[in-house]
Amino acid sequence: MADLPPLREIIARHGLAASKSLGQNFLLDEQLLARIASIPGDLSGKAVLEVGPGPGGLTRALLRAGARVTAIEMDRRCLPALAELEAAFPGQLRVIEGDALKLDHDALMGEPYAVLSNLPYNVGTALFTRWLGGEAWPPQWTSLTLMFQQEVAQRIVAQPGGSAFGRLAVLAQWRSMAQMAMKVHRSAFTPPPKVMSAIVHVELGAMPDGVSARLLERLTAAAFGQRRKMLRQSLKGVPGALGALEAIGIDAQRRAETLGVEEFVSLARALGS
Ligand code: SAM
């Protein structure tokens, strides 16, 4: 195992003062980083996509776990520190300079891959929606292990019946399993963000028969767009939705947050048929 200098030393030597505009809050505790890298299970020899390696804390934990890592980073200042990691783990790390929102991850990886990432909030949510959206299933990624603000993580794993349950929960749960893997205190980051964080882990499930992802997304957008209203009101603008509700026996007086993920799936299936 490569003997590496402490992350604080790397940050000081390469002048990596955290940039607010790039959402940089670094994790420096190597034990915590090793625990995060272990969430998806044994990574030895596996292909991993890491978005936003920064000074490389999580990256080195992944490399020590034996993963073959492709890391996308848009802050050029981090590249020399990451080049040192490439040298310490020959043939195990490939660093791509760029914006992860603009790159084709599947083409870049060219094989099934696990995703691990500690990203700024806005980028994380945008990528999450992209990884979980689309008609093609299963996707090329095999699992997602991602840091979010705790409040967002709670919305992803939420169950029906509460105000946290909405589009993100349906998106994350209708053909995959999402769980809260670890809560991370704000003091674990340098500099500490204002809010608590949490890591969500997503594993692939089966795609239900006869359901279009696009239709399901349209339904949840309408239903949760007016979440305080009854479905007969909120789904008025989706052609055929009220008939589909009746056909599968869902009371149109219910509100969106009382429907389970499976009921949304049945509704999308009925609407599409
Ligand atoms: N992974 C490191 C850690 O845990 O200490 C850094 C985490 S920091 C919260 C987020 C990192 O993502 C920063 O290094 C930032 O430059 C990078 N980043 C932000 N937006 C990005 C984007 N669109 N594409 C790629 N990297 C991005």
What is the arithmetic mean of pLDDT over 29-40? 98
Residue nearest to atom 19 of ligand 1 (CA): 22
Ligand 1 midpoint to CA 124 (Å): 10
Q: Where are the domains of the chain?
A: 7-204, 213-272
Please report which confidence band the pLDDT of residue 92 belongs to, taking 50, 70 and 90 as the band edges: very high
pLDDT at 2: 57
What is the arithmetic mean of pLDDT over 93-116? 98
pLDDT at 43: 98
pLDDT at 18: 87
HSE, side-chain direction, 13 A CA sphere, residue 103: 20
Is residue 246 scored above 90 in pLDDT? yes
Ligand 1 midpoint to CA 74 (Å): 7
What is the arithmetic mean of pLDDT over 53-73? 98
Please report which confidence band the pLDDT of residue 109 belongs to, taking 50, 70 and 90 as the band edges: very high
Q: What percent of the chain has pLDDT over 90?
A: 94
Helices (H), 71-212: 79-88, 105-109, 121-132, 150-157, 167-173
Residue nearest to atom 16 of ligand 1 (CA): 75
Cβ–ligand 1 distance for 72 under 6 Å, the answer: yes
Ligand 1 midpoint to CA 4 (Å): 21
Ligand 1 midpoint to CA 56 (Å): 10
pLDDT at 247: 97
Which uninterrupted H or E stretch holds 262?
helix 261-272
pLDDT tens-place string over residues 112-123: 999 999 988 889
Question: Rounded to the nearest 5°, which phi and psi values hold at 51?
Answer: -100, 130
Dihedral angle sign, alpha carbons of residues 146, 149, 151, 152: negative
pLDDT at 122: 84
Cβ–ligand 1 distance for 205 under 6 Å, the answer: no
- Residues whose CB falls within 8 Å of the CB of residue 104, separated by 6 or more in sequence, listed in order: none
What's the pTM value of the predicted model, to 2 decimals?
0.96
The two three-digit tokens of residue 92, written as one number: 């195990």
Range 213-272 has CATH code 1.10.8.100: yes
Is residue 182 scored above 60 in pLDDT? yes
pLDDT at 3: 80
Strand 113-118 versus strand 141-149 pairing type = parallel
Question: Domain 7-204 sits in which CATH superfamily?
Answer: Vaccinia Virus protein VP39 (3.40.50.150)
pLDDT tens-place string over residues 111-153: 999 999 998 888 999 999 999 999 999 999 999 999 999 999 9
Same fold, 7-204 and 213-272: no
pLDDT at 23: 86
